[in-house]
Amino acid sequence: MKKLELELLALSESNASIHSYAVVLGEKNGKRKLPIIIGSFEAQAIAIELEKMKPARPLTHDLFVSLARTLGVTLKEVLITDLKEGVYFANLVWTKPEEGGKQWAQDARTSDALALAVRFACPIYTVEAVLSQGGIEPEQWDAAFDPKTSISSEPDQVDRFPGSPSEKSKDNRLSIKALEQDLQKALSQEDYERAARIRDKMEQRRRDRSGE
């Protein structure tokens, strides 16, 4: 079985609803992109690690990493193995160096697998059958990629993204400096969902300014 390496290209709120996010994986030695809809909890877990945010207390995925390292186990790779009825399937490939590099695979939700992959800094792979079915060519991207119809890793477990309209309006009025202060406050209160939203707003403000 030939494995194709992927890289995490983007993570953004899905247009399908406020319940989900879209993570986009790209073919490392090719041009195809693989969009997957994931829940807000897993999206937050990925975003917090990518942005090197420091939660006041460890998240569930951080606890898993800590336990694995205590046991002398490391995540060698994540393999997205299959795509059935609109659902991606993945395996975590573990190794234990102290036992001669013994390896074994563990079934996992794709979103959880990606959240762990960014924490272990391990490669992400898939197979041609998955990429052929779910991948999108560059010339098709703008027209074809719509998070409303993108395939989900677990469509029945998409979490609602909290936040009232008044909170969003407040964020729209804040300066980058004020947003940074609000971000630190959200982290200290362990409100990671709001922290992720504030981070996205800061990035958008910086992009807007760079284009002025």
For 211, phi and psi rounded to 5 degrees? -90, -5
Q: Which of 3-17, 28-42, 160-174, 189-203 has the highest mean pLDDT?
A: 28-42
Quick check: helix, strand or coil at residue 161? coil
- All domains of the chain, ordered by start, with CATH? 3-157 (3.10.690.10), 165-210 (no CATH)
Quote the tokens at residue 198.
């504030």
Determine the residue type at 184. Answer: Q
Quick: pLDDT tens for 41-71.
888 889 889 888 888 888 889 999 999 999 9
Task: Tell me the HSE value of 20 on the side-chain side, using a 13 A CA sphere.
Answer: 24
CA distances from 11 to 53, 114, 210 (A): 16, 12, 21
Mean pLDDT of 1-8: 92
Map residue 53 onto helix, strand or coil: coil
The full length of the chain comes to 212
Contact (CB, 8 A) for 34 and 134: yes
Enter the pTM of the model.
0.68
